[in-house]
Amino acid sequence: MYEITGDVTGLKRPAVLAAFEGWVSAGSVGTEAADHVAGDGAVVAVFDGDALFDYRVNRPTATFDDGRLDDIEWPAVTLRRRTVDGRDLLVLSGPEPNWQWKAFASSAAGLCRDLGATVFVTLGGIPWATAHTRPTVVVTTGDQDGLADDANPPDGILQVPAAVALAVSGAVRDAGIGTVGLWARVPHYVAATYYPGIVALVERLSRLLGIAIPLGSLVDQAAEQRRRLAALVEEQPEAQAMIERMEALADAEDGAVSGEDIAQEIERFLRQAGEDDGLG
């Protein structure tokens, strides 16, 4: 389902990182973190969009120049290559496919195997009743042993609506490659891109892979966003009271999170989808 379009020779300890738009990338933290890591890396593989997308849902973008159709940009899932600290990072990203999840997952897993991937890391975000005034917590899933020294997995049974990233991760695991999911808790009241969550994911990924991924302007963007959110909260007494309650809960808990807690938060987020409380 893909075409190799760039140089995939001489890969050094390649790690595949995956993030897709939509579910589960609350606050766009997964896709933005993936784009940051990929940087200006070259596209080395492209998946067949006609086989994956319903163009009525993921519509192409048409560009006109003086009334003449100049170009149509089609949605695409791509694999980009970037080298950091002597290690190759292969970033699989794009809109979440509408069709053929099983075939896509199998094809992506085969590509990972053929390229000699040493680990497959999914990046994403989960909506959570957490305050932007507290450090972003990153929950981990997948094969913990030997891959995540500071793992923070959910306790117990966890059932949530699936995403294509999870389907690919399962196929990669079945192909014998270690998998890890890094999921930043994103305040459920933030509708925009959540920069503190992006910073948390990139930092956690750096520790996992044992490399130093530059943060660039992300730290300043996260600080500025927190300042804007603080100003918005000051103008809304009800929002301020909500933040204070979440801060108290965060200070009281021991950091553990159960699968039931995550499922309840996600269900609440889905019920409230489309509502706007004025923040973000």
Per-residue pLDDT of the chain (280 residues; tens, 9 = 90+): 999 999 999 999 999 999 999 888 899 999 999 999 999 999 999 999 999 999 999 999 999 999 999 999 999 999 999 999 999 999 999 999 999 999 999 999 999 999 999 999 999 999 888 888 888 999 999 875 545 556 677 767 777 788 999 999 999 999 999 999 999 999 988 889 999 999 999 999 999 999 999 999 999 999 999 999 888 877 877 777 777 777 777 777 654 545 555 555 555 544 544 444 445 4
- Judged by DSSP in three states, 164 sits in helix
Tell me how far apart the alpha carbons of residues 206 and 154 are, in angstroms, rounded to a whole number: 21
Is 233 part of a structural domain of the chain?
Answer: yes
In the chain the first and final C-alpha atoms are separated, in Å, by 38
Give the largest CA-CA distance in the chain.
61
Work out how many domains the chain is built from and give that number: 1
For residue 14, give its domain range.
Answer: 2-272
Is 245 part of a structural domain of the chain?
Answer: yes
Is 279 part of a structural domain of the chain?
Answer: no
The tokens of 229 are what?
Answer: 């959110």
Is 280 part of a structural domain of the chain?
Answer: no
Is 44 part of a structural domain of the chain?
Answer: yes
Is 165 part of a structural domain of the chain?
Answer: yes
Instruction: Give how far Cα 80 sits from Cα of 41, 93, 95, 153, 204, Å.
Output: 6, 8, 15, 28, 20
Single pTM value for the model: 0.85
The dihedral over CA atoms of 184, 189, 193, 199, expressed in degrees to the nearest 10, equals -40
CA angle 50, 53, 57 (to 5 degrees): 135
- Buried residues in 5-28 as b, exposed as e (16+ CB within 10 A): eeebeebeebbbbbbbeebbbbbb
Is 236 part of a structural domain of the chain?
Answer: yes
Question: Which of 163, 207, 214, 179 lies closest to 33 in space, CA to CA?
Answer: 214
Tell me how far apart the alpha carbons of residues 122 and 168 are, in angstroms, rounded to a whole number: 9
- Judged by DSSP in three states, 64 sits in strand
Tell me if 207 sits within 8 A of 45, measured CB to CB: no
Whichever domain contains 160, its CATH number is 3.40.50.10900
Is 277 part of a structural domain of the chain?
Answer: no
